[in-house]
Structure 1
Amino acid sequence: MEKSKVYASLALLVLIQVSNFHLARSGDICRLFSNGTVIRDPDSCSQWITCIDSVSHYSTCTGSTPFFDKDQSKCVKSLKSSSSCSISCEGKATQFVADPKSCKGYYYCSDQETAVYGTCPQDTHFNATTQMCSRLYESDCTTSSFEYCNIVKDKVNFDNLQACDKYHYCQNGVLLDKTCSNLYYQASTGTCVSKALVDCDAHPLPTDVCGKASKPKENVFVSDGATCRGYFYCAQQKDGTPDSNPSWNQCPQDKFFDSTSQMCISPNSVKCTEDRCDGRTLNFVVSSTTGCRNYLSCSNGVTQYEKSCGNLFFDEELGGCVSTVKTYTVCTK
Structure 2
Amino acid sequence: MKKDTFRGLIILALIASVCGDWDCIGVKLYELQEDTSDETRYFVCFTEKSDPIFYDCPDEYKFNVDTKSCTLELVGRTEPSCAFEGEVFVASNSDPCDQYWLCDESLSAETKTCDSDLNVNPNAKDGSNSNRDAEYRFNSLLLQCVPKKYWLCGDGIPDCSQTDQRNQKWSNIQDCGSFYQCIGNTLTKQNCPSGFYFNVTAQSCFHNAAGLCQLPTDWLPGLLVDPENMCKGNVGKFLPDPYYCKAYYYCVAEDTPYWKPCEDDLYFNNGACTKTVPSTCICETIDWEELLPSTATSVAHPNPSKYYFCKKGFVAVEESCPPGMVFNAKEKLCSY
Larger of the two Rg values belongs to structure: 1
Q: TM-score, normalised by structure 1?
A: 0.30
Higher relative contact order (CA 8 A, sep 6+): 2
Give the TM-score normalised by the residue count of structure 2. Answer: 0.30
